[in-house]
A and B are shown apart, each in its own frame.
Chain A
Amino acid sequence: DSGVTQTPKHLITATGQRVTLRCSPRSGDLSVYWYQQSLDQGLQFLIQYYNGEERAKGNILERFSAQQFPDLHSELNLSSLELGDSALYFCASSVAGLSETQYFGPGTRLLVL
């Protein structure tokens, strides 16, 4: 158990809908990262937050957004969902951010029908 928690574990929804994925980092970790894992794209970095502020952006679609709250938990919002958004979404956390070890949560499996 990495200490990173993610909810929900599974999510099934329809195209056009909006969902929110939640992540709680390990105790003491200030950085949260979001990754998308799909069969054809592998593990792709989406976005990073450090102590409430956005620090780095990867290949995150404009339909996706994230935030980190004062209690350091983070939410990833996916809107106008398309079939191709079906994937595993992982959250990882680290103490600070500069090449620190990242610990991954168990992931949320999203299926868009």
Chain B
Amino acid sequence: GENVEQHPSTLSVQEGDSAVIKCTYSDSASNYFPWYKQELGKGPQLIIDIRSNVGEKKDQRIAVTLNKTAKHFSLHITETQPEDSAVYFCAASMTTDSWGKLQFGAGTQVVVTP
């Protein structure tokens, strides 16, 4: 089955700097890659997603890039703010037989220090 690896496990950045989280996936059939932000005591919240027919997507300070050949995708957060502190999860999904089942990475704890 699909396996998603996520790095780093923790990331500490100064406010205003950029943060980058990287994920790799194993199954080339995967075609949907969402990113979720989880704050303490809350459920994961979708922040951005990308499909395999797109190489890059941006939404304000957040961007995601996808390299299908290398089977990796990355989340970029620019001009980080203290409210960006949370755990971020990448995930991958394929449509062939799994009906949208998401395989999650292990998560990255992001700490933004003022």
A interface residue numbers (CB < 8 A to B): 2, 4, 31, 33, 35, 42-45, 48, 50, 55-56, 58, 90, 94, 96-107
Contacts and interface: CB of A to CB of B under 8 A. Distances in A.
Contacts of B49: 101
B36 A104 contact: yes
B99 A48 contact: yes
A102 B102 contact: yes
Q: Which 3 pairs show the lowest CB-CB distances between chains A and B? A: A99-B32, A104-B43, A43-B104
B36 A99 contact: no
A46 to B, nearest CB: 10
Contacts, number: 67
A43 B32 contact: no
A45 B103 contact: yes
Contacts of B31: 99
B3 to A, nearest CB: 12
A20 B103 CA distance: 25
Given A99-B93, A101-B34, A45 B43 contact: no
